[in-house]
């Protein structure tokens, strides 16, 4: 008899394992969940397997065992409450109903009392107790349905919170930079001031005011988005961050808030790629012809949060920033596009 029971338990285990694998495969391969009808069929098969085991032990083999009956009845309850993890209250109600009907019919067809039954066994196998157990199984399905509903609401709330957090983070990282946003989140918005070796790059469009006066606002914004897209992509490629946009220009930093091996080298490579990409876009007609000015300097700068509790921002300050801005402006005098300091060289 134990071998037969183990066989059916093995069948139940294999069924659960295969079902789990099928569901996982569909989710990974097709991004689709199992059809709702499959859940009902699965619940029916599970209850049927447990009922067969109970029937074999309690009826077919004519074994009167109070302990085994309690164990198998517990499997019904376990199955009903596990159904709540489908997050479908109807599945739980159906599972509870099937379990209640199966248990009641099984015990009504062939009661387990024997002439030498104890008072406890007579009570447990009386029709009133059987009916009561069936009703409890059905009610457990209702309870599982309530639990499934609460679990589903909790999971949906968690998903909504995560989506809102991701949305806020994406919006926040667009206003500053993704790297600075992550640094602020990791430190609860309190980035301590520290001295870092950085390379600062200023970039500006020549004669942008003259161009802007002759264009519609929509065209100006479109041009700026394309231009800043090229700059941002190159800066990020060489592990820098765009600190701020300055109308027709911007400031980028290499070496803060996270360190890089050689900040000036990264800044210079980014500047060369920006110039090359812009020339390519102009040649292919996606941008109108214009010139840029880029200034690069390196040195120690103070990095960290500056401001008050009401308003603060991640800032990089020091002489290196001022000199980088002046070097960029000196392009106008030399009629050049990229100038770097001796320190950066």
Surface-to-core class of residue 158, CB atoms within 10 Å of its CB (0-12 exposed, 13-18 middle, 19+ buried): exposed
pLDDT digits (tens, 9 = 90+) for 6-56: 777 788 788 878 887 877 777 777 666 666 677 777 777 777 777 777 667
Classify residue 316 by its DSSP letter: E
Contact 88, 148 (CB under 8 A): yes
Please give the residue that has the higher pLDDT: either 93 or 184: 93
Q: What is the pLDDT of residue 307?
A: 64
Phi, psi of 320 (to 5 degrees): -60, -35
Contact 47, 79 (CB under 8 A): yes
pTM of the model: 0.55
- Average pLDDT on 98-120 reads 65
Q: What is the pLDDT of residue 273?
A: 95
Q: What is the pLDDT of residue 295?
A: 96
Measured in Å, how far apart are the chain's first and last C-alpha atoms? 86
With the C-alpha atoms ordered 326, 255, 310, 244, is the resulting torsion angle positive or negative?
positive
Mean of all residue pLDDT scores within the chain: 79
Surface-to-core class of residue 201, CB atoms within 10 Å of its CB (0-12 exposed, 13-18 middle, 19+ buried): buried
Question: What residue segments make up the domains of the chain, in order of their start?
Answer: 2-170, 188-340
Q: What is the pLDDT of residue 113?
A: 47
Q: What is the CATH number of domain 188-340?
A: 3.30.70.1230
pLDDT digits (tens, 9 = 90+) for 143-160: 988 988 888 888 888 888
- Average pLDDT on 176-196 reads 66
Residue percentage of the chain with pLDDT more than 70: 77
Instruction: Find how far residue 15's CA is from the centre of its chain.
Output: 30
Most confident of 93-102, 300-309, 326-335: 326-335
Give the other-Cβ count within 10 Å of 103's Cβ.
23
Pull the structure tokens for residue 74: 């517990």
Please give the residue that has the higher pLDDT: either 230 or 38: 230
């Amino acid at each position: 008899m134990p071998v037969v029971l183990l066989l059916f338990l093995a069948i139940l285990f294999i069924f659960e394992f295969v079902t789990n694998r099928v569901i996982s495969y569909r989710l990974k391969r097709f991004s689709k969940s199992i059809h709702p009808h499959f859940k009902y069929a699965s619940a029916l098969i599970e209850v049927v397997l447990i009922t067969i085991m109970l029937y074999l032990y309690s009826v077919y083999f004519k074994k009167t065992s109070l302990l085994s009956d309690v164990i198998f009845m517990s499997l019904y309850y376990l199955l009903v409450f596990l159904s709540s993890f489908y997050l479908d209250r109807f599945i739980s109600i159906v599972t509870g109903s099937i379990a209640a009907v199966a248990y009641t019919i099984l015990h009504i067809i062939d009661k387990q009392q024997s002439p030498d039954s104890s008072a406890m066994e007579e009570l447990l196998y009386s029709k009133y107790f059987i009916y009561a157990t069936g009703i409890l199984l059905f009610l457990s399905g209702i309870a599982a349905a309530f639990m499934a509903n609460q679990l589903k609401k909790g999971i949906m709330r968690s998903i909504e919170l995560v989506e809102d957090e991701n949305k806020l983070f994406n919006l926040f990282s667009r206003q500053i930079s993704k790297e600075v946003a992550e640094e602020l989140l990791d430190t609860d918005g309190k980035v301590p001031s520290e001295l870092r070796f950085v390379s600062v790059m200023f970039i500006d469009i020549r004669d942008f005011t003259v161009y802007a006066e002759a264009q519609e606002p929509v065209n100006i914004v479109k041009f700026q988005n394309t231009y800043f897209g090229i700059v941002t992509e190159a800066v990020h490629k060489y592990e820098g961050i765009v600190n701020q946009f300055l109308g027709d220009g911007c400031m980028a930093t290499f070496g803060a808030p996270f360190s890089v091996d050689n900040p000036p080298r990264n800044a210079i490579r980014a500047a060369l790629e920006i110039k090359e990409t812009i020339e390519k876009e102009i040649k292919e007609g996606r941008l109108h012809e214009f010139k840029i000015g880029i200034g690069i300097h390196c040195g120690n700068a103070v990095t960290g949060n500056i401001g008050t509790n009401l308003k603060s921002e991640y800032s990089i300050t020091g002489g290196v920033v001022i000199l980088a801005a002046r070097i960029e402006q000196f392009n106008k005098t030399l009629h050049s596009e990229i100038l770097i300091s001796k320190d950066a060289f």
